Structure 1
């Protein structure tokens, strides 16, 4: 029995932590289908965003996030102090950051690339992806690039108040577009955002293209001190999530407590077999659960 199965069974007996409880499990299967390093460089990543050629991103390109609105929606914001949400996301991000930058990163390929997904829509993956990005960027020595890769139902831009802008799809489709053209700096130091871009009938093919593989490789190897978080489509609702999972070193699987069927969770886990690390977050939980519920270990397939 896998650690996720044990956690699900234990959750039924013990109840659930208020708002969010976490169960962390580490996969041992390595992804062997990795793109080779590329010689052409994408623009240098500095400060709040990317440099385009030799010029910094101008102030007119900075996205002004409405922190008051985000706070009302329950998100982590820079002005929050010791709230329950902050503490919860500190617990969630700790293993991710350790795997990306600490001793745990040894043996994890592309450890600084993190995919946030779920089994089905509505489980809170975008809420988790944005909160993780905000929580990590809130650390003084960390930079985060948040990429909306849920190209069929993008939510990151809408949530953050970003107006229609070229994004990931345009970059993958256009042979002459620089990556800097789709990166938006924000009014939070250390946080940049890439919108999903326009809807495209061949979005799956674009996300599974060699250009996307090369981009993931470049983001990982050229900028190893930056965390890149992808908000992905649900694994059982679209094929893009499974495609993207092969490009990252860590995956966060968001599970809606007391709602998502265990069979769905295990089907999603099977699709994540090539991933180095799989972490699970129980979202929308009710009641209280003691700290003994938090687990971090290996699971077998």
Structure 2
């Protein structure tokens, strides 16, 4: 699973900064500072390797439109700024993929194509970006059995392979919402760390509790309180472990 077959793509960093995303040239914005705080305990856990697959981090939410993709991309961008970390960002929300759209990239083959056997290896669908430490795996082609494939043995084998071969890399998965499909919790079960995004003043306490019940078997669960407007500048994010 080497990167020799990966394609090179160029991210428009000025465009991403304009969207409020973390970029290397974006300076010390409020969002950048928030994600510096968010990533630190995740990196400590990943590097300590005291739990299985600690370098695999899934970002999910209870319901759609809570900002999980936005948080997954920002987390990946922030970790990519670390001096000794590389990041692989995987769009695993195969029913409603949006990572490439956020990044301003055209659709292409990805995770689903590997699971369907249409691409021989993950390296065939990896997009190597102009940020040296960041690579992306698209969701890939749509398929009516997408959710079943996420819960398949092929996915389990692929995740074990990723965790083992990329032991020195942080791999971030943008997952489907937990309360929409059972496959989201199945995917989370393979992860060493879970980040659940909760939309401020929108997601009900009942939804949060129900979602957390579905990942109670996960060894490390963190929450991001997203879209908080507690202050004029804090348009997004607060962090709770």
SS at structure 1 position matched to 2:36: helix
* Partner Cα separation in structure 2 for residue 294 and residue 166 of structure 1: 34
* Partner Cα separation in structure 1 for residue 24 and residue 151 of structure 2: 35
* Partner Cα separation in structure 1 for residue 61 and residue 119 of structure 2: 33
Instruction: Give the deviation of 1:295 after TM superposition.
Output: 5.2
How many residues matched? Answer: 236
* Partner Cα separation in structure 1 for residue 134 and residue 175 of structure 2: 18
- 1:287 corresponds to: 230
* Partner Cα separation in structure 2 for residue 206 and residue 130 of structure 1: 23
Instruction: Give the deviation of 1:138 after TM superposition.
Output: 1.1
* Partner Cα separation in structure 1 for residue 239 and residue 187 of structure 2: 27
- 2:100 corresponds to: 157
Instruction: Give the deviation of 1:210 after TM superposition.
Output: 1.1
Bigger relative contact order, structure 1 or 2, given CA contacts below 8 A and separation 6+?
Answer: 1
Instruction: Give the deviation of 1:237 after TM superposition.
Output: 1.7
Instruction: Give the deviation of 1:159 after TM superposition.
Output: 1.1
Deviations along 1:181-204, whole A, 9 cap, x unmatched?
111100001100000011111112
Q: Name segments (4+ residues, structure 1) moved above 2 Å.
A: 293-296
**Structure 2 residue 167 is matched with structure 1 residue 224:** yes
Instruction: Give the deviation of 1:238 after TM superposition.
Output: 2.2
- 2:4 corresponds to: 51
Quick one: which of 82, 86, 94 aligns to 2:28? 82
Query: Structure 1 294/147 Cα, relative in aligned 2: closer, same or farther at 3 Å?
Result: closer
Deviations along 1:203-233, whole A, 9 cap, x unmatched?
1221111111111111112221100000001
**Structure 2 residue 7 is matched with structure 1 residue 64:** no
- 2:87 corresponds to: 144
* Partner Cα separation in structure 2 for residue 83 and residue 162 of structure 1: 24
SS at structure 2 position matched to 1:109: coil
Query: Structure 1 176/67 Cα, relative in aligned 2: closer, same or farther at 3 Å?
Result: closer
Pairing 1:1-301 to 2, within 5 Å after superposition: 43-44=1-2, 50-52=3-5, 57=6, 61-102=7-48, 105-106=49-50, 108-174=51-117, 177-288=120-231, 296=241
Instruction: Give the deviation of 1:162 after TM superposition.
Output: 1.7
SS at structure 1 position matched to 2:227: strand
**Structure 2 residue runs without a partner (length 5+):** none
TM-score between both structures, scaled by the size of structure 1:
0.75
SS at structure 1 position matched to 2:38: helix
Instruction: Give the deviation of 1:51 after TM superposition.
Output: 2.5
Residues 235 and 241 of structure 1 are in contact (CA less than 8 Å); yes or no, is this contact kept in structure 2? yes
SS at structure 1 position matched to 2:39: helix
**Bigger shift: residues 220-229 or 259-268:** 220-229
- 1:13 corresponds to: none
Residues 232 and 240 of structure 1 are in contact (CA less than 8 Å); yes or no, is this contact kept in structure 2? no
- Root-mean-square deviation (CA), in Å? 1.6
Q: Choose 1 or 2 for highest CA Rg.
A: 1
Residues 119 and 125 of structure 2 are in contact (CA less than 8 Å); yes or no, is this contact kept in structure 1? no
